[in-house]
């Protein structure tokens, strides 16, 4: 398909391992062109170069866009400056929007990547039509976005939407951010592996240990998924404990924000066909005043791995139209 020039926007989603760029129509989410690149790992100064290279490829393929949106993991302020990101180590004070604006002479907006995904799910996906919603993305870590009064809530500095760093267990695991006991350390992909190692230290999880080559430190989330697929009962115990921690965090978000819906994104939602319904049941048991408040539905995200890039394109369109 070809997008009309007046509706052509570029969206860039920077992850810990890859950069995804799309040329999209933000009104519909239709994508004309996709490009991927690896996220530079060793030299922080290579990141803006890599992002610009993806933008150049997209422009060469689809033509000049109306504007560009870019989302990265971490603390991104209202001016599009990335101040800190645990998943892009060493990148501090990067003016993503300014760099791209200078290079391409186009309107550019910089956002947190999960903020972009939440914007996309609200405009086009599982939270469409709601006034109050929370979008939680479970990957290696946890990120999120908040919709209040039908609008994306960015906070005073632009840093809102980091539920993975709510403290839930002062005696828990060390998080990627360096703190102890973050929700992310027990409710993300890394958290799933942490819980599996707990099970092994309790003298269980023989199959998990075998899949990791006999070394508990090498257990990863994919080993848990594989053992569950094999029907291993102790891997199911890991998943049960993991679901409990996911529900604990979601119940706290409900108590704080009172959303109409919570949207769960990321590959972990598909780890088991009962996972979301199990989490829903646990949330209903855990949330404050459960017997006196409407159930908050927990639903899977609809836009998949491209939500962040589509949301970045939507954010660019909003900037262009002064929203």
pLDDT, tens only, 55-98: 999 999 999 999 999 999 889 999 999 998 877 777 788 898 99
Check if the beta carbon of residue 310 is closer than 8 Å to that of residue 22: yes
Q: Do 5-119+305-320 and 126-301 share a fold?
A: yes
Sequential DSSP letters for 127-155: TTT-SSEEEEEESSSEEEEEEETTEEE--
Angle between helices 113-124 and 307-320 (to 10 degrees): 80
Residue 42 has pLDDT above 80, yes or no: no
**Burial (Cβ within 10 Å: 0-12, 13-18, ≥19) of residue 235:** buried
Tokens of 241: 């404990």
Enumerate the domain spans of the chain: 5-119+305-320, 126-301
CATH annotation of 5-119+305-320: 3.30.420.40
* Residue pair 268/192 in contact by the 8 Å Cβ criterion: yes
The pLDDT, as a whole number, for residue 186 is: 97
Per-residue pLDDT tens for 164-192? 999 999 999 999 889 999 999 999 999 99
pTM: 0.92
Q: Is the CA virtual torsion 247, 268, 143, 24 positive or negative?
A: negative
126-301 belongs to which CATH class? alpha beta
For residue range 122-148, list pLDDT tens digits in order.
999 999 999 999 999 998 889 899 999
């Amino acid at each position: 398909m070809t997008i009309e020039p007046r509706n052509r926007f570029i969206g860039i989603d920077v992850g810990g391992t890859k950069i995804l760029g799309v040329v999209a129509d933000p009104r519909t989410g239709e994508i004309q062109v996709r490009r991927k690149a690896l996220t530079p790992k060793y030299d922080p100064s290579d990141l803006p170069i890599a992002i610009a290279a993806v933008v150049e490829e997209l422009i060469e393929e689809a033509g000049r866009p109306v504007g560009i949106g870019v989302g990265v993991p971490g603390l991104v302020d209202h001016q599009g400056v990335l101040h800190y990101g645990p998943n892009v180590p060493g990148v501090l004070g990067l003016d993503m929007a300014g760099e791209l604006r200078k290079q391409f002479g186009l309107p550019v907006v910089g956002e947190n990547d999960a903020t972009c995904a939440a914007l996309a799910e609200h405009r086009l996906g599982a939270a469409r039509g709601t006034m109050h919603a929370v979008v939680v993305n479970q990957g290696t870590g946890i990120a999120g976005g908040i919709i209040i009064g039908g609008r994306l809530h960015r906070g005073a500095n632009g840093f809102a939407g980091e539920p993975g760093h709510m403290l839930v267990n002062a005696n828990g695991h060390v998080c990627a951010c360096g703190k102890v006991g973050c929700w992310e350390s027990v409710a993300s992909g890394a958290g799933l592996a942490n819980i599996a190692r707990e099970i092994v230290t309790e003298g269980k999880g023989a199959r998990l240990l075998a899949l990791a080559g006999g070394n508990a430190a090498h257990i990863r989330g994919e080993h848990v998924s594989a053992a569950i697929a094999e029907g291993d009962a102790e891997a199911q115990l890991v998943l049960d404990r993991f679901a409990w921690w996911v529900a604990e965090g979601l119940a706290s978000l409900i108590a704080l924000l009172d959303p109409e819906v919570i949207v769960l994104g990321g590959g972990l939602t598909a780890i088991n066909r009962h996972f979301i319904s199990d989490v829903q049941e646990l949330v209903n048991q855990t949330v404050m005043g459960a017997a006196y408040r409407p159930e908050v539905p927990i639903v899977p995200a609809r836009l998949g791995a491209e939500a962040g890039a589509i949301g970045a394109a939507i954010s660019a369109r909003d900037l262009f139209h002064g929203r």
